[in-house]
Amino acid sequence: MSIFKINGGVQLRGEVKISGAKNEALKLIAFAVLLKKPVCIRNIPQIVDIERQLEIFKCLGGKVKNIESGIELDARSIEKFDISKSTANKLRASLVYLGPLLSRFSQAVILQPGGCQIGERPIETHIDAFRQLGATITENKEKIILKLDEPKHNKVILCEQSVTATENIAMYAAAQEKEIIIENCATEPEISALLNEMVKSGACISGIGTRTLKILGSKDLNLDSADVIVDRIEAATFAIAFAATGGEGTVTPFPSENLQSFVDVLKKCNVKIEISGNSAKVLKSEDLKPFSISTLPYPGFPTDLQSPMSLLASRAKGVSHIEETMYENRLGYLKELQKMGLNVEFHGLHRADVAGPVHLRSTTIHSLDLRSGITLLIAGLMADGETTIEDAQIIDRGYENIEDKLARLGAKIKRIS
């Protein structure tokens, strides 16, 4: 457990380099289970969630080697298809081993899911999808056991546009020599990046980036290397940090093609952002305007950017409307920001109005989850005086060297373990 001590009132300035996308890297590690020879993954972020995913890979029997260009994964020695409770409980993304393990061993065992700080995230979409392919499923209080020698049907209709369910079924299909059609898919850029690596490894996939995928897999998947795409959520978060602190700076790389809904909202807020090539420059922005956002699956406004947007609402003159459609507890961070003086009116679990402008005051606040944690950290930078953020290690799950990156931009931040 650790805390951050932040002396606020500093306008961030400079250039920040964005790390690789956590949400692609986690799935590439799981996909390596299906590869017939070692693979090198480059631009992989050094964050806690990646460490935990690699720990699971090793517990299954895989080998992990740090090399100059990234990490090398060798799955040839994997013999287990049951993820241990001690490792699975540390990381919900362990669920994405389900598809690869089931495809490789014709069976897989996963733990019954628990709750989550941001709301319930049931896995029935995953289970139902494999059931549609013909899997037999046995459950007890602790575990779910799936068995499927080969797909008995070739069509899956996902009951929701779930990112991880789309990836799970796609990874399963990538190693099956029978065409499988998946409908109602999620289309996030990290999914497309993962699918493109599957194609490079030998699978035939059509419909990448659409709601319908057709996958004809191969029993002989091989991939020499994979490059993780830039983390669009981190890039957007730093753009918000520059604007919210009244500073200015450059975000590189900035994947504007994957952040159109976010950029559109920034411009409506009167945030001055100039995009050139793979960089974005945020200029000092005054007279911010209120906004309305409603989170939606891609290409809609990302749920992972909903919380930091509240900080721009605190600087805008007027009332901003925030609607979180995907998770029932994700507005909980606003109660922490209320301790700092944020003017919030709640309308049930999914909607809130934020009235501004207000000047945030320093206090002690508590990180509830990854995205609320980074939001509270930026709030501490905005407030005068010293702010203490408890459970700061939660932020390490998704942001690489966060205090070092912020310090190079002028932040006065100290971690205490």
On the question of pLDDT at 328 being above 80, the answer is: no
- Integer Cα distance of 373 and 323 in angstroms: 19
Q: For residue 396, what is the enclosing H or E element? A: none
Name the nearest CA neighbour of 259 among 232, 282, 285: 232
On the question of pLDDT at 294 being above 80, the answer is: yes
DSSP 3-state of 156: strand
Would you mind telling me the total number of residues written for the chain in this entry? 417
- Residues 158 and 62 placed together within one structural domain of the fold: yes
- Residues 181 and 247 placed together within one structural domain of the fold: no
- Residues 356 and 309 placed together within one structural domain of the fold: yes
Asked if 6 contacts 411 with a C-beta cutoff of 8 angstroms, the reply is yes
Asked if 366 contacts 342 with a C-beta cutoff of 8 angstroms, the reply is no
Q: What is the domain range of residue 334? A: 3-19+230-416
- Residues 366 and 345 placed together within one structural domain of the fold: yes
User: pLDDT band at 220, cuts 50/70/90?
Assistant: very high
- Residues 11 and 42 placed together within one structural domain of the fold: no
Pairing of strands 155-157, 180-183: parallel
User: pLDDT band at 118, cuts 50/70/90?
Assistant: very low
Can you give the pLDDT at residue 123?
Answer: 86
User: pLDDT band at 142, cuts 50/70/90?
Assistant: confident
Name the nearest CA neighbour of 231 among 17, 19, 41, 15: 19
- Residues 138 and 239 placed together within one structural domain of the fold: no
Name the nearest CA neighbour of 63 among 46, 77, 53: 77
Share of the chain above pLDDT 70, in %: 95
Work out the average pLDDT over 10-18: 97
Can you give the pLDDT at residue 115?
Answer: 42
- Residues 255 and 180 placed together within one structural domain of the fold: no
| Catalytic residue ranges | 116
- Residues 201 and 179 placed together within one structural domain of the fold: yes
Can you give the pLDDT at residue 87?
Answer: 64
- Residues 245 and 208 placed together within one structural domain of the fold: no
On the question of pLDDT at 211 being above 50, the answer is: yes
CATH number of the domain encompassing residue 160:
3.65.10.10
pTM score: 0.95
- Residues 375 and 350 placed together within one structural domain of the fold: yes
pLDDT tens per residue, range 144-178: 899 999 999 999 999 999 999 999 999 999 999 99
- Residues 223 and 235 placed together within one structural domain of the fold: no
- Strand-pairing partners, residue 343, are 355
- Integer Cα distance of 240 and 289 in angstroms: 14
Where does a domain end: 174, 203, 227?
227
Into how many domains does the chain fold?
2
pLDDT tens per residue, range 333-356: 999 999 999 999 999 999 999 999
pLDDT tens per residue, range 396-412: 999 999 999 999 999 99
Name the nearest CA neighbour of 175 among 215, 123, 116: 215
User: pLDDT band at 216, cuts 50/70/90?
Assistant: very high
Mean pLDDT of the chain: 94
Where does a domain end: 227, 251, 268?
227
Q: Could you give the C-alpha distances from 411 to 60, 235, 245, 271, in angstroms and in order? A: 41, 17, 10, 21
Where does a domain end: 190, 210, 227?
227
Can you give the pLDDT at residue 119?
Answer: 42
The residues near 351 (Cβ < 8 Å, ≥ 6 apart) are: 321, 322, 323, 324, 331
On the question of pLDDT at 116 being above 50, the answer is: no
- Residues 190 and 303 placed together within one structural domain of the fold: no
DSSP 3-state of 343: strand
